[in-house]
Amino acid sequence: MIKHVWLLTIVLLIAQISNLYSQNKNLLQKDYESLEETIDQLKGRPDVFPYLNAYLEKAKKEENLDEVINGYKNYIYEVEYGQKIAYSDSVLIASELTKKNDKIGSALLTKGIVYYSGKDYNKALDCYLYTKL
């Protein structure tokens, strides 16, 4: 009996993984605009994460740094404070890869806003001041 339960559990798990893979593959075929629209509609809900993941994965596969930056910024709105810092770091790293001052400045402002929202005013000020350099 226990073997049957384990077998059923494994079969259901494989089916679920296959379903998730298929769903993610379908999402990767969507364009950025439609993914962004769906992300906006699902903001604040747990079912937004497959769309966030698809957006970021698509951008990385296409090596589209502007969309990678947007993908990380989208995550910032949906995660807890500690993760917001990590995603704002990723925004900054991707922005530095573009070597565009406007992208780097925007990333520093984003990071400052994240720190400010967490009431870490000194780090927020550091980001804002560094932006002016």
What confidence tier does 117 reach under pLDDT thresholds 50, 70, 90? very high
Tell me how far apart the alpha carbons of residues 43 and 47 are, in angstroms, rounded to a whole number. Answer: 9
Q: What is the pLDDT of residues 45-64, one digit of tens each?
A: 999 999 999 999 999 999 99
Q: Name the pLDDT band for 130 (thresholds 50, 70, 90).
A: confident
Determine the Cα–Cα distance for residues 72 and 58; give it in Å rounded to an integer.
Answer: 12
Q: Which is more confident, 26 or 110?
A: 110
Q: Which sign does the torsion angle of CA 108, 63, 27, 9 carry?
A: negative
29 vs 107, residue with greater confidence: 107
Name which of 92, 33, 94, 34 is nearest 60 in CA terms. Answer: 94
Average pLDDT over residues 91-102: 95
CA separation, residue 124 to residues 57, 82, 84, 120 (Å): 29, 15, 13, 6
Residue 120 has what DSSP assignment? Answer: -
Give percent above pLDDT 70 in the chain: 80
CB 76 within 8 A of CB 109: no
Q: How confident is the model at residue 71 (pLDDT cuts 50, 70, 90)?
A: very high
| Integer Cα distance of 57 and 68 in angstroms | 8
